[in-house]
């Protein structure tokens, strides 16, 4: 048995995303087919709790093409200052600032690099001159993700057909950020009619989603306007 969180888009209330731990049968093994068996098991267990739930696995292990396309390793975007495509995952990794290095902008074309483990503790993020703190947790990752998703109208529209999202590889004991949670947040914001306001500025987003305000001088010294 194993436990994984499922992420439920909330159309009302103070929380945009409800996280529910679900116990299910885990199928060990590295093969994609084994991971997909675990996904099916997780979804079956979730439907026992929420019989009418519309579930989507958001990862490269998804048996739904939409879920694969929504993987942070596949979802791409362009910034105003950069014309080539960048995946959400590469943008997130390249933006990490450590005690002794970073951000490593060359990682915009990569997915793994030894420097991400050898540069000391993570102390923040820097995304094309825009600085982000480690708190609120997930704020920076979710900001990149929901902006990128909004640039893909067809994917975004298809995601709206679901209300519960999973990522079989995400383990909350080992990781903080989750692509399934980010999709759930996007769907919740859009259903509430709050998406455009949230995406209008980082300040709006932080206040609306996290109840946080940007207060440090270093954070205020940023380029004006959206990077997306």
CA-nearest of 131, 139, 142 to 181 is 142
The pTM assigned to this predicted structure is: 0.90
Mean per-residue pLDDT of the chain = 90
Q: What percentage of residues in the chain have a pLDDT greater than 70?
A: 89
- What is the DSSP secondary structure assignment for residue 30, as one 8-state letter? S
* Residue 218 confidence class, pLDDT cut points 50, 70, 90: very low
* Residue 226 confidence class, pLDDT cut points 50, 70, 90: low
* Residue 217 confidence class, pLDDT cut points 50, 70, 90: very low
Which alpha helices (DSSP H) does 175-221 contain, by range? 179-191, 195-200, 202-205, 217-220
For residue 106, the model assigns a pLDDT of 83
pLDDT at position 223 over 60: no
Higher pLDDT, 37 or 214: 37
- Calpha distance 208→93 (Å, rounded): 25
For residue 168, the model assigns a pLDDT of 97
For residue 75, the model assigns a pLDDT of 97
Q: What percentage of residues in the chain have a pLDDT greater than 90?
A: 78
What would the two tokens of residue 205 be? 């987003």
CA-nearest of 118, 122, 90 to 105 is 90
For residue 161, the model assigns a pLDDT of 98
Q: What are the E-state strand segments in 11-72? A: 17-24, 55-57
- In angstroms, what is the C-alpha Rg of the chain? 18
Residues 107-115, mean pLDDT to the nearest whole number: 71
* Residue 103 confidence class, pLDDT cut points 50, 70, 90: very high
Maximum CA extent, the chain: 50
Residues 49-56, mean pLDDT to the nearest whole number: 96
């Amino acid at each position: 048995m194993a436990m994984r969180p499922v992420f439920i888009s909330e159309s009302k209330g103070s929380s945009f995303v409800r996280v529910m731990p679900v116990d299910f049968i885990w199928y060990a093994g590295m093969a994609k087919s084994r991971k997909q068996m675990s996904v099916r098991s997780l979804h079956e267990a979730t439907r026992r709790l929420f019989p009418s739930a519309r579930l989507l696995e958001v990862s490269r292990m998804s048996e739904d093409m939409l879920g694969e396309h929504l993987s942070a390793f596949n979802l791409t975007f362009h910034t105003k200052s950069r014309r080539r495509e960048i995946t959400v995952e590469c943008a997130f990794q390249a933006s990490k600032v450590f005690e002794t290095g970073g951000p490593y902008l060359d990682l915009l074309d990569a997915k793994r690099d030894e420097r991400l483990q050898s540069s000391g503790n993570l102390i923040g993020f820097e995304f094309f001159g825009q600085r982000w703190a480690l708190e609120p947790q997930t704020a920076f990752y979710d900001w990149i993700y929901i902006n990128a998703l909004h640039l893909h109208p067809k994917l975004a529209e298809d995601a709206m057909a679901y209300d519960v999202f999973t990522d079989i590889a995400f383990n909350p004991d080992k990781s903080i950020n989750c692509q399934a949670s980010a999709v759930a947040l996007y769907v919740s914001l859009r259903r509430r009619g709050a998406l455009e306001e949230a995406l209008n500025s980082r300040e709006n987003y932080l206040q609306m989603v996290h109840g946080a305000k940007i207060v440090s001088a270093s954070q205020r010294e940023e380029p004006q306007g959206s990077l997306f």
